Amino acid sequence: MPTSTPVNEGAPRRLRADAERNRARVLNAARELFAERGAHVSMDEVARLAEVGIGTLYRHFPTKEAMVEAASQQRYGEILTYYRTVCAEVPEPVRALRMLLTRIAEVEVRDRGFASVVVEGTLGSAGPRSDLRADLEAEIVELTDRARASGDIRPEVTGTDVLCLTSGLTAVIQRRAGDWDRYLDIMLLGLSTP
């Protein structure tokens, strides 16, 4: 009697290559539209820009909230990949920290309208918690620890301090409250060992 291979019912199914491409196209289209127009974007408009049928869109994202959460995770994943493939190779931790914070700022500028979708439009919070976001925050904390150990930043500065300052950086961008690059310069100067 043939035996069947057990199925791990708790594990997410891997998407076919075409389904994965469609999912990525939907997320890219959603981010583009949200960045331009904020929360006032319909699922139909996202499907049109992504060049997929509305049924395909709803198969991947049954609600607008699910699509926003996935797009948010995609953003964290892009920044985390940049850190792990580019910044982690930089031997000077303060330089790596500047590069990472600059990339975070650039993503925020590109997706400026997206933040209003996350906060006001659908989720009503600062954004969904995700493993990718937690991983990125852990990398910032670890990078801060390395910079402190190297003597490049003040001994009393913690990773939590840098995470708070990063929130300030994104707020400057979202509120158009000034020059984010100047904010970053002042922030890093304030962290630096005298």
Q: In the numeric block, which tokens belong to residue 48? A: 């049109």
Q: How many residues does the chain have?
A: 194
Cβ contact 99:88 at 8 Å = no
Which residues have C-beta within 8 Å of that of residue 182, sequence separation ≥ 6?
A: none
Lowest-pLDDT range, 25-29, 42-46, 56-60, 127-131?
127-131
Instruction: Give the three-class secondary structure for 70.
Output: helix
Give me the sign of the Cα torsion angle 138, 140, 141, 142.
positive
State the pLDDT at residue 7.
46
What value, to the nearest 5°, has the Cα angle with vertex 77 and ends 51 and 174? 85
- Give per-residue pLDDT as tens, 36-55: 888 888 999 999 999 999 99
* Dist. CA 149–CA 152, nearest whole Å: 8
- Give per-residue pLDDT as tens, 89-137: 999 999 999 999 999 999 999 888 887 676 544 333 445 457 888 999 9
Lowest-pLDDT range, 8-12, 87-91, 131-135, 170-174?
8-12
DSSP state of 11: S
Residue with tokens 């500047």: 98
Give me the chain's average pLDDT, please: 86
The class level of CATH for 65-191 reads mainly alpha
Give me the phi and psi of 192, to 5 degrees please: -70, 150
Domain positions in the chain are: 65-191
pLDDT confidence bin for 14, thresholds 50/70/90: low
State the pLDDT at residue 62.
94
Is the pLDDT assigned to residue 152 strictly greater than 80?
yes
Give me the sign of the Cα torsion angle 14, 19, 24, 30.
negative
Number of Cα atoms under 13 Å in the Cβ half of residue 17? 0
Cβ contact 26:46 at 8 Å = yes
State the pLDDT at residue 89.
92
State the pLDDT at residue 129.
58
pLDDT confidence bin for 15, thresholds 50/70/90: low
pTM: 0.80
Number of Cα atoms under 13 Å in the Cβ half of residue 29? 20
DSSP state of 2: P
